[in-house]
Amino acid sequence: MGKPLLSVVITVYNEEDNIKPLLDQTYVALAAIDYEVILIEDGSTDGTVREVKKHANKRTKLIIFNRNYGQTTALAAGIDMATGTFIATMDGDLQNDPTDLPMMLNKAIDEDWDVVAGRRADRKDGFVLRKIPSKIANWVIRNTTKVYLNDYGCTLRVYKAEIAQGMGLYGELHRFIPVLAKQQGARMTEVDVKHHPRIHGESKYGLSRTFKVMSDLILMLFFQKYFQRPIHLFGGIGIMAFFIGVLINFYLLILKVLGEDIWGRPIMILGFILVIGGIQFITTGIIAEIIVRTYFESQNKKTYTVKAVFVGEQVAVDSQLTMTEKDPL
Q: Are residues 172 and 51 in the same domain?
A: yes
Q: Are residues 100 and 216 in the same domain?
A: yes
Q: Are residues 79 and 32 in the same domain?
A: yes
Residue 107 domain flag: yes
Q: Is a pLDDT exceeding 70 seen at residue 309?
A: no
CB contact at 8 A, 324 and 312: no
Residue 149 domain flag: yes
Q: Are residues 288 and 167 in the same domain?
A: no
Q: Are residues 11 and 144 in the same domain?
A: yes
Q: Which domain-ending residue is among 199, 224, 249?
A: 224
pLDDT category, 323, cuts 50, 70, 90?
very low
Q: Are residues 182 and 247 in the same domain?
A: no
Q: Is a pLDDT exceeding 70 seen at residue 320?
A: no
Interatomic CA distance for residues 147 and 171, integer angstroms? 20
Q: Are residues 38 and 185 in the same domain?
A: yes
Using one digit for the tens of pLDDT, what is the confidence trace for 133-168? Answer: 777 777 888 888 888 888 888 889 999 999 998 887
Interatomic CA distance for residues 265 and 275, integer angstroms? 16
pLDDT category, 55, cuts 50, 70, 90?
very high
Strands 35-41 and 60-64: parallel
- For residue 126, give the CATH number of its domain: 3.90.550.10
Q: Are residues 220 and 234 in the same domain?
A: no
Q: Which domain-ending residue is among 224, 255, 282?
A: 224
- pTM tops 0.75: no
Give the pLDDT confidence score for residue 291 in this predicted structure.
Answer: 86
- By the 10 Å C-beta count (0-12 exposed, 13-18 middle, 19+ buried), 195 is classed as buried
Residue 214 domain flag: yes
Q: How many domains does the chain have?
A: 2
- The DSSP secondary-structure symbol of 100 reads G
Give the residue among 305, 159, 158 at the shortest CA–CA distance from 228: 305
First to last CA, the chain: 46
Average pLDDT over residues 26-41: 94
Using one digit for the tens of pLDDT, what is the confidence trace for 190-239? Answer: 999 998 877 765 655 555 566 677 777 777 778 777 877 888 888 889 99
Average pLDDT over residues 120-131: 65
Range of the domain at 246: 230-298
Helices 266-298 and 230-257 cross at an angle (nearest 10°) of: 160
pLDDT category, 302, cuts 50, 70, 90?
low
